[in-house]
Structure 1
C-alpha cells in the first residue's frame, strides 16, 4: 500500500463532513461496483508494454464523479488535484500519478465505443429489480428537450448537424430529446432513447415499453400511441388536450373529465423526478458533446445514476448502513 501525501493525511484527520462528502459516501454504498467492473473489464487495457494503465476501479469512480458533478475532462483532472474528497473516493493520492484529461477522455471513449452505458443501465435496473424496487407493472412515457449550443464559432463553422430545432409553446429550442420509460410504481427509469429535438414524442413510444407493463400513462403528445403498439389488454391513460376539455359544456360530464385528468396528471408527475435529478442534481443544462451517440451514452449513464440516487435511502437501509450526515 502506497504512503499517502501530507495533503491527504490532513484531509483524513478532519472531522467535518461536507455535503459533497456525504453524497460520495452514500453513492459508494449503493453503486454496484463489482457488477459494473465486470462489464467494463473485458474492454479495459491490461498491463503490458508501454505505460501501465490506471486501476479500472479508480477510472470508473472518476468517470462517475465526472457525471455527478458535470465536469469536463480538464476540470475533472484539476478537481482531482484540488479536492481531497474526490481523490479519496477515486482511491488516488498525490504521491502517485493522477489521471490527466487525456486518460479521462480515453476512458469515456472506451465506454462509448463499446456501448457500455446501456449495459450499465441494465445492470443497475437488474439490481433494483432484485431488491423489489423496480416492479414494471406499469409505465409512464415522456420526453425532455436538452439544449445544444447554437453557435457556429467552431472548426466546422456550423451547428451540430445531428441536433435540430423544435418549437414548444411559443419558444424555439435547438438540441436533442431524451425519451424515457418510467416504472409507474417507483418512478425509476427502465428505458432511455434519444433523438433530435424535432422528432415527435409518439414516434419513440414502442421503444420505451419493456413489454410486461399492463398500463401506460402519457401526456397528450402521445395521442395515436395505442395504434402504434400491437399489444392486446394494454390499458392506456393518455391526457386529453386542455383545448378539448374547454370545448365541453359545463356540467357533471366536464367535472368528471377534469377529475380523471387530474388522476392521470398525478401519476404522470413521477416522470418529472428523474428529469429533475439529471438536470438539477447532476447539472445537465446543455449537451456536453458533439453528436448524438456521445450524448446518448452520457444521458443513459445519468439516468442509471439517477435511479441509484432516487432509491439510495432504501438501498442503504437494506445493507444496514446508517446514512451519513453533513456537519
Structure 2
C-alpha cells in the first residue's frame, strides 16, 4: 500500500504562510503599523533627490523601499551581501519592503549605492523623522533626561612599524594599493575602559526617563571623552529639569551651567585622591544610579539588534551606522509600546 506524504502542496501556500506569520505576530508588521515610511522617504528625497535615469537605464528603486531595507540592515546588523540574500530568502523581509511580487530584488551594489547617495545627512534625517513621528503620537520627552555614551567597536587594524611612522606624519604609505587603502580605517581610535583597550567609535545619547526613547545623539571616535558631548545632547524640550549622568561628567563649570539654565543637577559625584566621597555623597550616587541605569537598558537593546560591531570603514560610514542604530532602536521601542498597549500619557 502506497504511503501518503505528510507534506501537502497548494498553489496558495504563500498566502497561507503569510496568514500564519500574522497569527504568530510578525515584528516587522508591528514596526510598519506604527511608522509612516512614506514620510521618512519624502524627507530623504528632499535632502538627497533621486537621480534621473539615463535613457534606457533601469529606474532606481523607490526611496521608501530602500529606507525600509536600511532599517532591516540595522535591526539585524546585516552586511550588504547578507541583506541581498535575505531579501531573496525571507518572506517577511520581502513583504516589509514591498517586494513580495517583485521579479527584481535590490542587490548588494544597489544598497551600497543608496547609502552613499544619502550619506550621514540622510541617516540623520531618518532619525529626526522618526523623532517627529514620536512627538506626533504624543511621546514627548518626560521625567528628566539621562546622558551617557557607549563604545561601538570597529574592526581592529594592523599596521607595520613603518606604516605607523608614515601615518603619524600624515603621509600615506607608498606601498598601499588603492584596494588596501579602502580597507584601512584611519579614523577609528583607541581608548581604555575598565582597564581594557577598546578600538572604534563612540555614540553619546540623551534618553528621556519616562519612555526611554533616544532624543539626541552625537557620534565621534572612541578616544573622545564622554563629557565633551554633554552640551550637544542636552534636550531643552524635556518636561522635567532633572539631568542624570554618571561619574564621567561632573565638573564645577558644568554644575554652574546647569544651575544658571534652570536644570537640577543629578550627576553622580566622583571621589578625588585623598578626598573620598562622604557617606551622604555615596547615598546620593546610589539614588541617582537607580534612574541613570535606565540608559543601560537602551544600550542593551541596541546590542541585541545583532550587536554593535561596525562593518564599515571610516568615520563617515561609522556615523551613518550609529545614527541608524539610534533610529532603529526608537522604531523597536515604539512598536513595543503599541504591542503592549502603552500610550503616551
CA distance in 1, matches of 2:292, 2:130: 23
Partner of 1:325: none
In the TM superposition, what are the counterparts of 1:249-264 in structure 2 within 5 Å? Answer: 254=279, 256-264=280-288
Unpaired runs of at least 5, structure 1 = 1-5, 321-327
Partner of 1:17: 21
Judged with a 3 Å threshold, the aligned counterparts in structure 2 of structure 1 residues 229 and 19 are, in CA distance, closer, same or farther, namely farther
1:26 aligns with 2:30: yes
Deviation at 1:245, TM superposition (A): 11
Q: 1:215 touches 1:237 (CA, 8 Å); kept in 2? A: yes
Range with bigger deviation, 170-179 or 292-301: 292-301
Deviation at 1:240, TM superposition (A): 2.2
The equivalent position to 1:160 in structure 2, one of 173, 185, 194, is: 185
Partner of 2:119: 112
Deviation at 1:261, TM superposition (A): 1.9
Range with bigger deviation, 237-246 or 79-88: 237-246
Deviation at 1:9, TM superposition (A): 5.1
Judged with a 3 Å threshold, the aligned counterparts in structure 2 of structure 1 residues 133 and 212 are, in CA distance, closer, same or farther, namely closer
Partner of 2:306: 283
Judged with a 3 Å threshold, the aligned counterparts in structure 2 of structure 1 residues 318 and 185 are, in CA distance, closer, same or farther, namely closer
Partner of 1:314: 337
Q: Secondary structure at the match of 2:211?
A: coil
Q: Secondary structure at the match of 2:262?
A: coil
Q: Secondary structure at the match of 2:187?
A: coil
1:140 aligns with 2:146: yes
1:189-213 per-position Cα deviation (integer Å, ceiling 9, x unaligned): 1111111111111111110112344
Judged with a 3 Å threshold, the aligned counterparts in structure 2 of structure 1 residues 192 and 17 are, in CA distance, closer, same or farther, namely same
1:52-88 per-position Cα deviation (integer Å, ceiling 9, x unaligned): 2222222222221111111111111111111222112
Judged with a 3 Å threshold, the aligned counterparts in structure 2 of structure 1 residues 9 and 274 are, in CA distance, closer, same or farther, namely farther
The equivalent position to 2:66 in structure 1, one of 51, 59, 64, is: 59
1:168-221 per-position Cα deviation (integer Å, ceiling 9, x unaligned): 122111111111111122211111111111111111111011234422110000
CA distance in 2, matches of 1:22, 1:117: 25
TM-score (norm 1): 0.83
1:122 aligns with 2:128: yes
1:272 aligns with 2:278: no
Q: Secondary structure at the match of 1:76?
A: helix
Partner of 2:162: none
CA distance in 1, matches of 2:218, 2:24: 30
Q: Secondary structure at the match of 1:221?
A: coil
CA distance in 1, matches of 2:148, 2:266: 13
1:232 aligns with 2:232: no
TM-score (norm 2): 0.79
Unpaired runs of at least 5, structure 2 = 1-8, 160-178
CA distance in 2, matches of 1:259, 1:277: 29
Range with bigger deviation, 144-153 or 310-319: 310-319
The equivalent position to 1:40 in structure 2, one of 44, 66, 75, is: 44
Range with bigger deviation, 205-214 or 174-183: 205-214
RMSD: 3.1
Partner of 1:223: 250
Judged with a 3 Å threshold, the aligned counterparts in structure 2 of structure 1 residues 19 and 73 are, in CA distance, closer, same or farther, namely farther
Deviation at 1:316, TM superposition (A): 5.3
Judged with a 3 Å threshold, the aligned counterparts in structure 2 of structure 1 residues 54 and 186 are, in CA distance, closer, same or farther, namely same
CA distance in 1, matches of 2:273, 2:298: 29
